[in-house]
């Protein structure tokens, strides 16, 4: 959803149209569930604020099963005009939260995608008590009880086990 910055009035703009925002998502498997964004301009700076909820398909880091992850975030973005390519710009500590728009156009869908991507966990788990895959036979221990014997400890780590025993006494 493209917004022209020069056409924003003093009251700003409120975007509640989930279908219009979802239409431009670059990842078709993402499902935008809710959005209520306020777009306000202060001079050439633009502020985008509001809650967004997106369902994102993920793969569990332990059991490798796919599952939907609901990401609910509060967007709070400040956008400024993109500087000319040849200019050298020094950023301060306050400038690290900035994003840019160019040609008087602001892409709200890109902002939603960026903020959602930043909120995704580094290691997704289908559930907090996921048991993962058996290291011996590879079966998903969440669905099938595994009869494999536990692997014996690596003999190369025996020195560390002995050191831990001596330190605990």
> How does DSSP classify residue 124?
-
Dist. CA 89–CA 83, nearest whole Å: 8
Dist. CA 36–CA 73, nearest whole Å: 11
Q: Which residues contact 83 (CB under 8 A, 6 or more apart)?
A: 89, 100
Q: How many CB atoms lie within 10 A of CB 51?
A: 12
Dist. CA 108–CA 112, nearest whole Å: 6
Maximum distance among all Cα pairs of the chain, rounded to whole angstroms: 74
Which three-class secondary structure state does DSSP give residue 19?
A: helix
Per the CB < 8 A criterion, the answer to whether 105 and 2 are in contact is: yes
- Give residue-wise pLDDT tens across range 112-129: 888 888 899 999 999 999
- Give residue-wise pLDDT tens across range 138-161: 899 999 988 887 777 788 888 998
Which three-class secondary structure state does DSSP give residue 15?
A: strand
- Nearest one of 86, 84, 80, 114 to 100, comparing CA atoms: 80
- Give residue-wise pLDDT tens across range 48-99: 899 999 999 999 999 999 999 999 999 888 888 777 775 666 766 666 677 7
> How does DSSP classify residue 122?
S
- Say yes or no to pLDDT of 12 above 90: no
User: What is the pTM (predicted TM-score) of this model?
Assistant: 0.72
């Amino acid at each position: 959803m493209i917004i022209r910055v020069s056409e924003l009035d003093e009251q700003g703009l409120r975007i509640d149209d989930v279908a219009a925002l979802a239409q431009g998502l670059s990842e078709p498997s993402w499902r935008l569930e809710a959005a209520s964004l306020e777009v306000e301009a202060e001079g050439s700076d633009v502020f985008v604020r509001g809650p967004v909820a997106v369902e994102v398909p993920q793969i569990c880091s332990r059991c490798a099963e796919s599952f939907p992850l609901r990401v609910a975030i509060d967007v709070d973005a400040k956008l400024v005009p993109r500087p000319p390519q040849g200019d050298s710009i020094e950023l301060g500590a306050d400038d690290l939260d900035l994003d840019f728009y160019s040609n008087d156009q602001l892409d709200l869908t890109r902002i939603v995608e960026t903020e959602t991507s930043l909120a995704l966990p580094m290691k997704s788990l289908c559930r907090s008590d996921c048991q993962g895959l058996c290291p011996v036979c590879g079966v998903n221990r969440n669905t099938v009880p595994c009869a494999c014997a536990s692997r014996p400890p690596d003999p190369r780590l025996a020195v560390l086990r002995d050191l831990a025993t001596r330190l605990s006494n």
